[in-house]
Structure formats: C-alpha cells, structure tokens
Chains A and B, each alone.
Chain A
C-alpha cells in the first residue's frame, strides 16, 4: 500500500492561514490502513485545527468528509454538491488523491495535509517499511523475493557492497542489508546459482526515469 504521515502542524497552520472555512477530506483506502488520513485522522486533525485556530483568536470552520477512494474521479465527484461552500479543500489522502480532487475542482485550492512516503507493507502493528519502488520491471524472482531497488540503500543489483556488516547496511545498524537478506533467502530456496550471474544494468525507462507512466487497458477503457 501507499504510506503517508500527517504533515507537521506548523506547516498545516501556515497553509490554511488565509482561510476561514475548509473541507477536510480523508480517504478510506491506504491512508486509513496506515492511520494517516482515514476518518479518525480527519476527525483528529479537524479538532486540532479548530482548537489551534481558536487559541490564535482566528476561528476556523472545519467540516469533515471521507471518501471511499479519493484517487478515483467517481468518488471525488461526491464533493460536487458541497464544495462551493468552502474556501479550500484540505486533503488527507496520498498525493494521488489530492491531485484527483484538484483536477476535478479547478477553481478551488486543494492542499495536502499528509506527506506521501513510500509503497510498503506493515511489519507489525504501527510499523510500515518500504518494499517496492515501482520500477516497472520486477526482478523479485531473481532476488529471493527481496527488492534490491527499494531495500538496498544504493539500489545495487550485484551486492552486497563492502559496507555490509553483520546483516546490516552501512548507512545504519537499524537498517537490514538487502543483499544479506537476498543471499539468505536464495540459500534457503536452493537458488544460489542465481547469485553468480551478473545482473545486467537496469533499463530505467520502465521506472520514473522514462517519464510519467500510464497504463491503458483497452478492454476496460470504454
């Protein structure tokens, strides 16, 4: 899923400073699961904004709404009936949600309330970790199911570098060395021969480097 974290309050106060009435919009998908921008977080931020602005002597009216999936125009449409009443929409969805709403309501300021971070999975309750960089050409089948792009600090394909120490990456003893994990898993799978082949330089066109990407499914796009 896509992970996110609420922006610092100072930045949020600054961005809503010009406004007196805002609509705070959450999303029921990823940001709900990572406790960044679901219904509960919308209520918390709304409360914090109301109190903070009262304290500043400049009350802010905050209405709350949480969409099923903010990155989907079909759901963004639900804002159409009410949106005219507000000075701005403050979105607690990931960057995709923010942009979907901004695209639909061209005349309205749409502000991000969270920082969208990475594609990851939940390691345990309350802990999320980066797992995929969306490179567009998955090599997990060759690397024991562990991603060298998202999980190696140098995204090297023929690791580990000389800095790997006791299973940890050179950048920090808190970071696992992806290549140690890859090697351990390859051994477990009896696939160590995969290691001896030199992995070729990546064609980064399939990733962000090739420009913004789109997927078109003709059978669906009717």
Chain B
C-alpha cells in the first residue's frame, strides 16, 4: 500500500468504490461542517473536500479534511493550482500528511473570473499534471520538487480529475494518459450525463491500458430540477447534458422532478457498474448531502465495505 487511505484499500480489495463530496462553509462555522458530514458517514468510502470551489473563498480544504478525519471519515483533500505556488503546495501536503490526511486530489481549479474575487492573481505556477508528478515524487522518491530530500515523505494516495466531455474530444483520453503517466492512483471524472459518449471514452481508455494503471471513478450528480438540468446543459463549460436528459426531468411536474433525477441517477449507476474499466463512482450531491443515504441505498451500494 502506498498510503493508509481507506479509498486505496477499498479499491485494492476490488470493491466498487463510492466517494462523496462536501463543500466547506463560507465562514468559520464548525458545526455546519459536522452537520453536513454526518449525512455522509458510513455512506461513502471517502469524501472529497473542495478547495475554494468555483474560485469562491471557503474554509481551507485541509482544515475541513481534518474535521472529517476526527469524525472517523476518510477525507479526499482537494488542492487547486490556482491559489498557491509550488512552495505553498508542498508545505500544505506535508502538514496534511502529518495530521492523518491520506488521500488527495490534484486540480487546476476554475479560473478566478468565475468566483468572488475576480481581481485575484491567477497563480498557476504549475499545472495539475505537474502537480501530480510533484506529489508522487515527494511520496515515492522522498524528494521535494527542488530536489532536496524529505525526512519522512508524505504517504498520499493521489488522484486527479478528468473531464471526458471537454473539447477537443480526441485529446480527452490522451490527456488522461498524461495524468496516469504523471502517477495518478485514481481518477474522478466530471459529472456524466451523456452515457454514450462516456462509454466511448471508456472504450478508448481501456484499449490504451489506462484502467489497469489507475482506478477510474465515474462522476455523477443527481439533477434536482429541470432548471438545474438546463443550467448544467447551457452554462457550465465542458459539461455535456443531452437534450433527452433535460426533457426527461422537465416532462415531470415540478414536485416530481427531484424524484425523477434520483431515478435517472440510479439507472446510471447500474450501467456504470457494468461498464468495463469503471472502478467506482464519485457522487457529487451538491448541497444535497442529506439525500446521499437514500441515493446510495436505492442504488444498492450499501453497506460500504470495511477493509
């Protein structure tokens, strides 16, 4: 084992993994974190803790990760390249590892223009692929990026994100390959709604042998309403929501749209479990943490393995 990560153990034992997501609060409210996290406890194998998601300031992802740790959960500590240079990243990683964070995710991060501080400097000292290399070098070679030796290297199970639907499509699997080559132990994808296109992506990834070198978790998000479906389809860059999906939700009366969204999600999870190369799902129930127990239950993903 490369780390003490629960996610690593679950995947290594061959279980179909389930990860969840938690957005830190926009304030110093500890109770809010605990309340949200309680819904996820025992329901997922690890919880992604977002890092200033959509470039909006929130509580530090390492701090919230520690709270989850104390609650006996496995945090997946997210770190974006937008806000810190290579020095800050490496020192944060050391601190996180020392305090018991075992799993992390490397990301470029949304551009500051999307967030609440569009004036902010856009750091991007290194990109997410270089960041992956940095973390695996720290862990496996015990060296900082600058070359100096690390006394007690951080034992991190390290992942990356992938968007199967960004353009150009032909580069999507090639870029996934670069992330694998950079040492990604696992991959979590952007939310999938276009199952056909995703299946094509997976075929290519399997053919290239990528799914033997990394564990790929397919990203899913329940559609809460027709409004949300339309927003995701039109406004989120690099998101592919087919018209039929929007229609399926919109065809329901308002009060039944959420239920239809969960039904659709359960069907998707069914299909994903059968899809070659898919090692699990990453369930992003944005501001819907309290529905997670119901969703994983209905999708037949309980109980979570104890490894």
Contacts and interface: CB of A to CB of B under 8 A. Distances in A.
In-complex A–B contact (CB below 8 Å) = yes
Interface of A: 153-167, 170-172, 177, 179-180, 183-184, 195-196, 198-202, 204
A195 B86 CA distance: 23
A200 B133 CA distance: 9
Given A156-B124, A198-B133, A183 B238 contact: no
A154 B130 contact: no
28 contacts: A154-B108, A154-B109, A154-B124, A156-B108, A156-B127, A157-B129, A159-B175, A160-B167, A160-B171, A161-B163, A162-B108, A163-B110, A163-B111, A163-B163, A164-B237, A165-B167, A165-B237, A170-B110, A170-B237, A171-B114, A195-B171, A195-B174, A196-B177, A198-B178, A200-B130, A201-B125, A201-B130, A202-B126
Given A154-B122, A158-B127, A165 B238 contact: yes
Contact of A183 (B125, B134, B171, B178): B171
For A161, A177, A195, which residue has the most chain B Cβ atoms within 10 angstroms?
A161
Contact of A164 (B124, B134, B166): B166
Interface string B163-176: 10011100100110
Contact of B174 (A153, A163, A167, A196): A196
Given A170-B110, A180-B167, 4 more contacts: A154-B109, A156-B124, A161-B166, A162-B163
Nearest to B132: A198
B177 A163 contact: no
B232 interface: no
A84 B146 CA distance: 54
Interface string B144-169: 01000000000000000111001110
Contacts of A171: 111, 113-114
Interface of B: 81-82, 86, 108-111, 113-114, 122, 124-130, 133-134, 145, 161-163, 166-168, 171, 174-175, 177-178, 181-182, 190, 237-238
For B113, B171, B181, which residue has the most chain A Cβ atoms within 10 angstroms?
B171
Contact of B145 (A172, A184, A201): A201
Contacts of A200: 130
Nearest to A161: B108
Nearest to A159: B127
B127 A204 contact: no
Binding site of A, secondary structure by majority: helix, strand, loop or mixed? loop
Contacts of B86: 201
Contact of B175 (A160, A163, A166): A160
Given A154-B127, A157-B127, A180-B168, A162 B162 contact: yes
B174 A165 contact: no
Contacts of B175: 158-160
A154 B111 contact: yes
Contacts of A179: 171
A170 B167 CA distance: 11
A3 to B, nearest CB: 20
For A163, A167, A183, which residue has the most chain B Cβ atoms within 10 angstroms?
A163
A172 B111 CA distance: 11
Contact of B237 (A159, A163, A196, A199): A163
Contacts of B111: 153-154, 163, 170-171
Contact of B190 (A160, A162, A172, A196): A162
A199 B127 CA distance: 10
A201 B126 contact: yes
For A154, A156, A183, A200, which residue has the most chain B Cβ atoms within 10 angstroms?
A154
Nearest to A182: B171
A85 to B, nearest CB: 41
A166 B167 contact: yes
Contacts of B81: 154, 156
A179 B174 CA distance: 13
B87 to A, nearest CB: 12
Nearest to A209: B125
A67 to B, nearest CB: 34
Contacts of B82: 154
A199 B128 CA distance: 11
A171 B55 CA distance: 12
A162 B107 CA distance: 10
A49 to B, nearest CB: 31
Nearest to A197: B178
Nearest to A192: B174
Nearest to B130: A201
A118 B126 CA distance: 22
Nearest to A177: B167
A155 B124 contact: yes
